[in-house]
Amino acid sequence: QEQLVESGGGLVQTGGSLRLSCAASGRTFSTSIMGWFRQAPGKEREFVAAISWSGGSTSYADSVKGRFTVSRDNAKNTVSLQMNTLKPEDTAVYYCAAGGTYWRNNYVRSSAEYRYWGQGTQVTVSS
């Protein structure tokens, strides 16, 4: 089992940067696929990024490619999301999630493949 706690959200101007962190506790963290999702008011939760247990494979939503970078440090049980060149449409509550170990691009982009979720952290980008 995994327990996840997110931090790093806040208010930033268009074009600015934020770094989100997710601290995990659990015996299987190092072998779990980790994902980032976001949900804006009136919208469904959507995929943002994912990273394999080794960190060797990553996946990004088209809307954030080239701007966001996901990384993990298994020794510290943390996963991070570096967000650059932020836009107002990035405004949402961001969640980290822990999934399984089987890496398939079509699976890691689905929220249904993740068992454990953090509480979420608010990111607001002013226009």
For residues 38 and 45, is the Cβ–Cβ distance under 8 A? yes
pLDDT at 99 over 80: yes
Q: Report pLDDT for 5.
A: 94
pLDDT more than 90, % of the chain: 78
Convert the pLDDT of each residue in 22-66 to its tens digit: 998 877 677 789 999 999 999 999 999 999 988 999 999 999 999
pLDDT tens digit string along 101-112?
Answer: 789 988 999 999
CA dist., res. 99 & res. 111, Å (int): 9
Residue 28 is predicted with a pLDDT of 66
Confidence at residue 30, expressed as pLDDT on a 0 to 100 scale: 75
C-alpha 19: how far from its chain's center? 11
